[in-house]
A = this chain, B = another copy of it.
Amino acid sequence: MTDLKQVAGGGLLDRRAFLRSGIGLSLAGFADTSAAQALPVVAPAYDIPAWMRMPGGADLAYGLPAAQEQALQRQQHAGPPEDSGFAVWRTPLASQPGVITPSGLHFAVHHNGIPDIDPQQHRLMIHGLVERPLSFDLEQLARYPLVSQIRFIECSGNTAANAASPWARDESCQQLFGEISGSEWAGVPLKLLLREAGIKPAAKWVIAEGADGGSHSRSVPLEKLLDDAIVALYQNGERLRPSQGYPMRLLLPGWEGNVNVKWLHRLEVCDAPAYTKDESGLYSEVLANGEIERFSFFMDVKSVITHPSGQQILPEALGYYEIAGLAWSGYGRITRVEVSADGGLSWADAHLHGPVLDKALTRFSIPWQWDGRSSVLLSRATDEFGRVQPTRAHWKRRYADHSFNHYNAQQAWRVARNGRVENVYV
């Protein structure tokens, strides 16, 4: 059973030990506490359940989650449910096993509620420093090539509580990390539309404005719009939902959520940023030296262990567990995730599950044999440009004490002896 050797302290096992074939590996190989021993052997006679003794029910033209699963919802953080102003809805990240978030559970941050847009009347206007100002309706956009891409979107305020709060709050993964989601977005490459309008030589920036009641607007370098930006019309195989910008949003892969302007209706090509209220206030960061960082678009390399994670309870105080989580980088692909089960003293490489995509969520996992002692779990991601997720202390050195955006430090979860998992700082 050499594959069950520890590869780092605290009981971390080889990342492929359980998936590798041909080694006759069995959970029964573990000592007294294996999950296998808890598995009931089938009795010679077994009961036919009630639902096999009757005809089944009919299906729906649009399928819905099972009634028993409808408690899985987004949690509203800011504002009462009827609020039409600033609102934050967090995704239940710990329940997500892969790179796709269900559209109905995708996180949302609204600045002015959800506008009730008539898609027939909606237009995307491109004007400013262009040869020919243009206006596109949905039918006209449908004539252009459509591309699809699996990407994450993360609010720059995701995990803000761990940045600004002097004590580690006992919160769930959803509460702390619920402002990131992954989807397959599809739409029209923006460079095609900008070329159509004809960009003038002086052009350097584009002001993107949403058609919400507060005209949420951000200035974006033209370069990004000519690179991988799209006007997204579809999410996960169907039209955008109202919460995600129906009928169209800007998608700027890897960049902070609020520049992915929802309900997009206007792109003004300019020679300088506009310093709109949304970029001069909330979405600027104060550095430790007192300077203000503006236009901090990239979401840096980051990861979180989603299982075990905050407020979960491990069912047994000893035995085998899979440590699993998600990693991402706004700069590109994830190349490595290391996990520690001893509070950062030693680390082992987690297995990266495919597909590992550019600016997309990447699932990682590593087997862990818990010895039942209080253990602190951490993950540390690295991307293809060698960017490594910092410690909390390292992150705090760069920013003012009250800053909270763009927090990407390593997350620590303590598993207590009774199996309860809690957010801690290390």
Contacts and interface: CB of A to CB of B under 8 A. Distances in A.
A201 interface: no
A64 B241 CA distance: 6
Contacts of A60: 104, 243
Interface in A75-89: 75-76, 81-85, 87, 89
A292 interface: no
Given A35-B140, A213-B51, A213-B54, A18 B192 contact: yes
A226 interface: yes
Interface stretch (A20-28, A153-161, A376-384, A386-394): A20-28
A55 B85 contact: yes
Which one of A46, A58, A133, A144 has the greatest number of beta carbons of chain B within 10 Å? A58
A61 B41 CA distance: 41
A81 B60 CA distance: 8
A336 to B, nearest CB: 19
Given A135-B39, A212-B56, A147 B65 contact: no
A52 B211 contact: yes
Query: How extensive is the interface on chain A, given as a class?
Result: 35 or more
A355 B52 contact: no
B146 A237 contact: no
Given A105-B63, A212-B56, A365 B145 contact: yes
Contacts of A101: 237
B99 A148 contact: yes
Contacts of A112: 55-56
Interface string A235-274: 0111111111011000000000000000001000000000
A66 B241 contact: yes
Interface string A216-234: 0000000000100000011
Interface of A: 18-19, 21, 24-28, 35-36, 38-42, 46, 49, 51-66, 68-70, 72-76, 81-85, 87, 89, 95-106, 108, 110, 112-119, 121-122, 125-127, 132-136, 139-140, 143-150, 184, 186, 189, 191-192, 195-196, 198, 211-213, 215, 226, 233-234, 236-244, 246-247, 265, 315, 319-322, 324, 353-355, 357, 363, 365, 367
Given A28-B196, A49-B118, A63-B105, 14 more contacts: A18-B144, A19-B192, A25-B195, A27-B144, A27-B192, A35-B143, A49-B265, A51-B211, A56-B116, A57-B113, A58-B87, A60-B104, A66-B241, A102-B238
